[in-house]
A and B are shown apart, each in its own frame.
Chain A
Amino acid sequence: MLEITNLHVHFGVIHAIKGISLTVNDGEIVTLIGANGAGKTTTLRTISGLKKPSEGTIFFDGRDITSLSAQERVKLGISQVPEGRRVFSSMTVLENLELGAYLRKDRDGIAKDLDMVFERFPILAERRKQQAGTLSGGEQQMLVMGRALMSRPKLLCLDEPSMGLAPLLVQEIFDIIKDINEKGTTVLLVEQNASMALQIAHRAYVMETGRITLSGTGSELMQSEEIKKAYLGG
């Protein structure tokens, strides 16, 4: 579904991504883990078209999307939940969700997906008229996930969805991600919570200062000594 080859990204003179290659197959959950500043967010932003790579290609569904605009990528079915719960704070929960379906024209389908999101996140249905900025951190995370689902994506990219949430809520978020995937959406998950991410992921990549240093299935990496030491606290 997604195939990244030899991707390089620069910020001025800073060489943030140094030639990574990465694949996500149909129906998988793939996780990308790594320390602060490794380049995970930059990778996702490049996939979504918010940042232009200096070299390398990105293919989606067999099509070269490297030079497409962010808008066209959303149209093709790539949706991203950005880092840090970027809700449209002074807009209502409902307006936020409607914006998720910005490019869609099928009113019936949108209404159906809205019901689906409300079913998945009942708290959002309760708060539909509330300003998004006044939601709690956990509720905002659910809102941005619901908003991303409203475009009916083929590939859902999530950037640290568990950041700053209480353990119980983290578990809930991971269960939801797993469920979204089981209902047919491919997932690319960026996480610092490596143990949780590896548990639900089919495959994983480890990133260090702009390079991919390890890859394998979720369970393989969970057994790896290096990973245990560096990311799993033991």
Chain B
Amino acid sequence: MEQFLQQVINGISLGSIYALMALGYTMVYGIIKLINFAHGDVYMIGAYVGYFCMTNLRLGFFPSLLISMLVCAILGVAIEKIAYKPLRNATRIAVLITAIGVSLFIEYGTMYIASPNPRSYPRLTGFMAKSYQVGGLTFSAQQILIIIITVVLMILLQLIVKKTRIGKAMRAVSLDRDAAQLMGISVDNTISFTFLLGSALAGAAGILVGIYYNSINPLMGMMPGLRAFVAAVFGGIGIIPGAMIGGYFIGLVEVMVSGYVNSMFRDAVVFAILIVILIVKPSGLLGKETREKV
């Protein structure tokens, strides 16, 4: 039992990271129906920026987190403006291939600049390096930090999307782009803002995964990116709470399979779940079957 609860805690920490990434996939998909294959690489850049801030600049964890988020936000907006915006009226397959191109460009660009070798992430110090025993369970301060930061970011995101003017514009554009334009909403600005939010969250996920696994490399975004994408589909792509639930779910599945079965199987199980979901409920856990009202 204790071991199980311990795995749950681990699963929630890992799931937090997937949830943060899945949010970016889901928001971008919601607004331009694009699976942004470069999203996992933005997360990787977030991890590298965090590494650079903490080692070379000797900044603390929190300033590094903010800088990672900021750099990734700018990167995300730049990717959208340079690579996707000129293709606004192109076929979806053209945009998808472009996204894969952007992904490869960032991965191999990073290898060129920062070398392909893995780097070990700086360890946290002070209270953030401790761990706490509660009734036989071990909570590392890192895990608590990951969970709390994720929850805070999710609450902030919900507030932005639900309460602010630009958040309402985001929802309007994703529901009906033409009708949104008739309200006077600028579709371009709204799309940029969506990339900004999603990429900032990916940046946060990147630095958090750095402290979780202690190791980063230029291709680290590929598999977690796919898993986070599965999480987004699982919850219902385009639906923000769905991405959160999906992220935690995939995190838990991964940890449970690694802990009780064999870590070789974890991705097989994740993708098997994806297939089952697509068969049973193609619109995802929270997805609505689209019906037209006449």
Binding site for B on A (CB under 8 A): 45, 48-50, 69-71, 74-75, 79-80, 82, 85-91, 95, 98-100, 102-103, 133, 137, 140, 147-148, 151, 164
Contact = CB atoms under 8 A, between A and B. Distances in A.
A82 B177 CA distance: 12
B266 interface: no
Contact of B168 (A74, A79, A98, A133): A98
B193 to A, nearest CB: 14
Given A86-B176, A133-B293, A164-B294, A102 B181 contact: no
B184 interface: yes
B178 A50 contact: yes
Contacts of A98: 168
Contacts, number: 67
A91 B175 contact: yes
Contacts of B82: none
Rank and list the top 5 A-B pairs by shortest CB-CB distance, nearest first. Answer: A74-B184, A103-B184, A86-B179, A70-B181, A102-B183
Given A95-B168, A102-B169, A137-B294, A88 B184 contact: no
Given A82-B179, A102-B165, A91 B171 contact: yes
Contact of B182 (A82, A85, A89): A82
29 contacts: A48-B181, A48-B182, A50-B178, A50-B182, A69-B186, A71-B181, A71-B184, A71-B185, A74-B182, A75-B184, A79-B182, A82-B178, A82-B182, A85-B293, A86-B179, A87-B179, A88-B175, A88-B176, A88-B179, A91-B168, A91-B171, A91-B175, A99-B172, A99-B180, A99-B183, A103-B184, A133-B293, A137-B293, A148-B182
A100 B181 contact: no
Contact of A151 (B175, B181, B184): B184
Contact of A88 (B165, B171, B181, B293): B171
Interface of B is mostly: helix
A79 to B, nearest CB: 7
Contacts of A151: 183-184
Contacts of B175: 88-91
B241 to A, nearest CB: 12
B185 A140 contact: no
A54 to B, nearest CB: 15
Nearest to A151: B184
Given A80-B182, A99-B172, 6 more contacts: A69-B186, A71-B185, A75-B184, A88-B171, A100-B183, A102-B165
Given A82-B178, A88-B175, A102 B185 contact: yes
Interface in B270-294: 293-294
Contacts of A70: 181-182, 184
